[in-house]
Amino acid sequence: MECPECKGKLDGGGNSYACKSCGVEWQVDFSCEICHGKPEMESHCGAVTFFCQSCRKLKSRESMDKTFTRKA
């Protein structure tokens, strides 16, 4: 993912990310790009996946709508 502040690369997982370029930490909230529902985040063996109950489909971070909130 791309930092909304400086367009640098974000590192992290789940919904907590940080930009190595500018040092800003972000909370990222994901929503389904089809129904705009909040998908369930599941973690298995270190991998994070998302599942939308409304659409009944697995979702990738790249395909979903994202809302970035700067951490204080």
**CATH number, span 10-70:** 2.10.290.10
Counting beta carbons within 10 angstroms of the beta carbon of residue 44, is it exposed (0 to 12), middle (13 to 18) or buried (19 or more)?
A: exposed
SS3 9: strand
**Per-residue model confidence (pLDDT) at position 48:** 77
- Integer Cα distance of 54 and 61 in angstroms: 17
Q: What is the pTM of this model?
A: 0.77
pLDDT digits (tens, 9 = 90+) for 10-55: 999 888 999 999 999 999 999 999 999 999 988 778 777 889 999 9
**Per-residue model confidence (pLDDT) at position 51:** 93
**Per-residue model confidence (pLDDT) at position 20:** 93
Counting beta carbons within 10 angstroms of the beta carbon of residue 3, is it exposed (0 to 12), middle (13 to 18) or buried (19 or more)?
A: buried
